[in-house]
Structure 1
């Protein structure tokens, strides 16, 4: 402890006197500073010569021509995390015109948790090789278009969790090769028409956690977009399905936490290529027919944590899914007869839904190739025809207060394993319940 205290005291005194202080920052990398200005970063037999993480704890200036590390490909400049409420107290990072000179192979630059400042002159002229730029929690008030003009090779841009309030036409014009854009968790209230014009290669866009209007031409110019995240991002007028008219080739769509109350037939019909759809955390009360049946390529649908009270039989038609997630719908008391008729799915989750009643043949002509998860509901018994017509590998009824299973309850059910952990039933006669002797009971 005395040794550590002595080292810290030497560093403090040296800093006060304006002397250069050097320290090992990561497995053979050496950083030297004078008065909070980085003068040199050197490779002292670094184990990883292409990646350098630098953790900073006070206001810092990155000096000019400090690198002599031509093999460096990934550079991380990180300050301690500061919550949004205390962002004004973040330490500053000042960059000079030649702060990144000497890095001809730099591909990824990540700067986090700071007040990012630039002096006059082109700080970025020497990093034209960058393909990935992440500026998270840097207190940016707008898209740094001037900076981006020097980075024509950028393919991945993250401006997550800044203070940006608007997106304008030409903000991203310099980035002709851009494939991924993340401007989530800002304060964006305006996205002007034409903002995304020219981004013909963009495939992934995250606009989540902002508050802008759902205008019809919001996504104009993104006709080849594949992945779109729009969670909790609309103003008081809410979500409108017409925002999808400009992005017909979407494969992944996330519109969670948007206070959506109704699913309307045909609302996703224009998204013929959709493979994953998340409506997690909305306020949907009913799942009608005609919403998903034209999504012939969809493999995953999540309606978890809504307020679903009713699933109209046939709502999922004859879809073939990997996952159908309906868990955490605490108003879903009853599963109606033929609710999932014709559905083929690898995993169907109805966990934690407060289900008390399964109508006869609720899962009639339903094929669940891996698991039907009904755990942590309020089922007290299994009736004769509750699971009639179901074909599955695993049926998990664990953590339900089940006290009774009717005679021949599983006579018309094809299953391999039955989960009964945390229930009150004891099975002594499989044949009486209609179970094959080969069925494994998990209890």
Structure 2
């Protein structure tokens, strides 16, 4: 017997489709856990994006305490109050960039016990209260870049044992306490660029065995001391360009066996210690351009089979030792200033 599948009429199909859409809409309404405050947009569940208004009156926005993501920007200049985020114990991401924040009251973040990302970039913050971050034990990312910080309490980060990324770039920091990063053993990215640092104290980076990227360019560093970087066994990228470095201690990079990118350009280096890169076996990029280098040591590199780019242009080199590049079998780009004085 031939059987023909039953096909409902078009009207029935339309009714079924409308019912399905209605159910979906009701489901979305049930999924929305709060009415969106008038000054905000709530595109995603448990998330709010707000702009305008006064920083000191954030609590008056009426943000529900069960939010997991908050983005506040372009607020009026003022102080973050201690009650701004009261009761928000499930908040995971708090973005407060471009909000003209000038100060933060003690206790402002005490209820944010599940916070993983805190972004305070591009504000006017000059000082951070000592225990401001003590309750943020789960924090993984902290952005304090592009503010006006001149100093930081040595205990500021002591409770942030899960922190993986810390951005302090583009501030006015001149000195860092030696124990500032002691408890940040899980740190992978540290950006200190664009400050006024003249030196780094011994022990500052003594516990950062997992650090993969260290950004120090555009400071006023004058030297790189022995042992300063010896604990950074996982470091892959080191940016030291645009400083005032005149001297590098022999063996300064010996323990950086994972290092693949090193920028030393635009400093005041007149000479390099012998065998400085002897153990930098994984180096692929090295920049030394725009330094007043007049000569290179006969032994500078080890077996750098992976080095692809070496930039020596803009120096005062008069000779290039023939043996200096013997082990650079995979070099793809070599930048050297053409000079009548230069000879091999």
Please state which band the TM-score falls in when normalised by the shorter chain.
Answer: 0.7 to 0.9
Match for residue 162 of structure 1 among 67, 75, 90: 75
For 1:125 and 1:234, how far apart are their aligned partners in 2?
28
Match for residue 145 of structure 2 among 231, 234, 240: 231
Q: What secondary structure sits across from 1:134 in the alignment?
A: strand
Is the CA contact 2:68–2:91 (under 8 Å) kept in the aligned structure 1? yes
The Cα shift of 1:387 comes to: 3.2
Q: Which has the higher strand share?
A: 1
Aligned partner of 1:222 in structure 2 is 136
The reply to whether residue 408 of structure 1 matches residue 319 of structure 2 is no
1:235 and 1:294, CA in 2 relative to 1: closer, same or farther beyond 3 A? closer
1:362 and 1:390, CA in 2 relative to 1: closer, same or farther beyond 3 A? farther
* 1:107-118 equivalences in 2 (<5 Å): none
Q: What secondary structure sits across from 1:396 in the alignment?
A: strand
The reply to whether residue 370 of structure 1 matches residue 284 of structure 2 is yes
**Deviation sequence 1:151-204 (CA, Å, 0-9, x none):** 445322121231141222332125333211122333434422321122122111
For 1:194 and 1:380, how far apart are their aligned partners in 2?
55
Aligned partner of 1:246 in structure 2 is 159
Is the CA contact 1:388–1:410 (under 8 Å) kept in the aligned structure 2? no
* 1:310-389 equivalences in 2 (<5 Å): 310-318=223-231, 319-329=233-243, 331-344=244-257, 345-387=259-301
For 1:207 and 1:220, how far apart are their aligned partners in 2?
16
**Deviation sequence 1:66-115 (CA, Å, 0-9, x none):** xxx9999xxxxxxxxxxxxxxxxxxxxxxxxxxxxxx84998xxxxxxxx
* 1:189-208 equivalences in 2 (<5 Å): 189-208=102-121
1:134 and 1:281, CA in 2 relative to 1: closer, same or farther beyond 3 A? same
The Cα shift of 1:403 comes to: 4.2
Gapped runs of 5+ residues in structure 2? 1-21
For 2:280 and 2:106, how far apart are their aligned partners in 1?
46
For 1:166 and 1:221, how far apart are their aligned partners in 2?
20
Q: CA RMSD in A?
A: 3.6
The Cα shift of 1:126 comes to: 11
1:155 and 1:369, CA in 2 relative to 1: closer, same or farther beyond 3 A? same
Match for residue 46 of structure 2 among 131, 141, 149: 131
For 2:79 and 2:23, how far apart are their aligned partners in 1?
37
For 1:395 and 1:183, how far apart are their aligned partners in 2?
39
The Cα shift of 1:304 comes to: 0.9
The Cα shift of 1:253 comes to: 0.6
Q: What secondary structure sits across from 2:335 in the alignment?
A: coil
Q: Which has the higher contact order (CA 8 A, sep 6+)?
A: 2
**Deviation sequence 1:268-316 (CA, Å, 0-9, x none):** 1111111111111111222454221311111111111111110012321
Q: What secondary structure sits across from 1:214 in the alignment?
A: coil
The reply to whether residue 268 of structure 1 matches residue 181 of structure 2 is yes
Is the CA contact 1:375–1:396 (under 8 Å) kept in the aligned structure 2? no
Is the CA contact 1:360–1:388 (under 8 Å) kept in the aligned structure 2? no
Aligned partner of 1:148 in structure 2 is 62
